[in-house]
Amino acid sequence: MKRNPLIPYLLIGLLGIALVFFLSVKGLGDAKEIAKEKEGGGEEVATKFEPEAFAKSTCISCHGNNLEGATGPNLHGMGEKLGKDKLKDVLKNGTTGGMPGGLVKAENIDAMADWLMKLK
C-alpha cells in the first residue's frame, strides 16, 4: 500500500493558514490597546529618583568607585565645603574644570544636592 505524499504538505499548509487567521484576530484585539496607549491613555510608570543609584551609575566614572576622587574630586565632605546652593549650581551648570552640566535632570537636583550634603 502506497501513501499519498501530498497529505503531510496539505496538513502543514492548513496549520499555517489557521495560525495566520488566529494571530490576525489576536492582532486586531491588541490594536485597540495600542491606539489607546498612543492617545495617552496608557499607564505611565513613574520611577522615584534614587541619588545613590544615580551616583553609582553616572558619577563613579570620574569620581571613583567610592566617590573618593579619581579624575574628578573627592565628593565626601563636598557639601560642607561648598554649601547646598553651590552644589546645586554645579549640578545644573557644571564647572570649567571638566564637570559637565545637565547630568542631573532639573527636577532631581534638589534630591541629589541633599544626598551629597549628607555624604561624609
> Annotated binding site for heme c: which residue ranges?
59, 62-63, 99
Q: Phi and psi dihedrals of 94, rounded to 5? A: 80, -170
Whole-angstrom Cα distance, residue 74 to residue 91?
15
What are the start-end ranges of the E strands in the chain?
Answer: none
Cell of 19: 495560525
Q: Which residues are annotated as a binding site?
A: 59, 62-63, 99
Q: Give the number of C-alpha atoms closer than 13 A to the C-alpha of residue 91, restricted to the C-beta side.
A: 29
Q: How far is CA 17 from CA 5, 14, 20, 21, 27, in A?
A: 20, 5, 5, 6, 15
